[in-house]
Amino acid sequence: MKNMRNEVLRLMLVLATAVLMGTFSVIANAETAEDLNRDANQALNDLYKTNTLAESISKKAKAVLVFPKIVKAGLIFGGAYGEGVLMEGTKFDYFNSVTASWGWQAGAQSYGYVVFLMTSKAVKYLHQSHGWEIGVGPTVVAVNEGVAKNLSTSTLKDDAYAFIFDQQGLMASLSIEGTKISHIKRK
């Protein structure tokens, strides 16, 4: 019985790995800079239509980091990947978002997220780090309905504010903590 259970677990692990590799290989053949810019602008406009606080915060931000589509999948071991745009005034730069996880998880979903960088320190950290791990470095507040009730543009005190949006699919939990954001080149 124990051997059968171990074989089933191995099979599930192989299947999860195959699904993840297939999912991420499609995404890894990423978009052009023009495609990313277009998708990021559309994602921001969609977020602003549904969340006026996000639009208000954007007006005070030093830079805006937009990941229009992240794909997350897992079966015991999981991962998420997506590419995005840093909009700093009229300058654009490109980053990827990578998360790895393990534990009791099963499912797949896609979502987008935006990080409003409120301080020069946060922007500088993003440019100078060789991969910013959310939860390390500048303070990032994930804005959900509870946080939003007590937040206004006059009470902004943290380095960055993150909004997760457009969730589709089914996965037990969603967090950007532990996500590593790294610079990429796009043409």
Closest CA to 78 of 58, 96, 101: 101
Q: What's the total number of domains in the chain?
A: 1
pLDDT per residue as tens digits for the range 144-161: 554 444 444 544 667 888
Surface-to-core class of residue 14, CB atoms within 10 Å of its CB (0-12 exposed, 13-18 middle, 19+ buried): exposed
pTM of the model: 0.76
Residue 100 pLDDT class (50, 70, 90 cuts): confident
**What stretch of H or E contains 172?**
none
Domain span at residue 153? 2-184
Residues 6+ apart with CB under 8 A from 76: 9, 12, 13, 16, 102, 103, 104, 105, 106
User: Which tens digit of pLDDT belongs to each residue from 50-78?
Assistant: 888 899 999 999 999 999 999 988 887 88
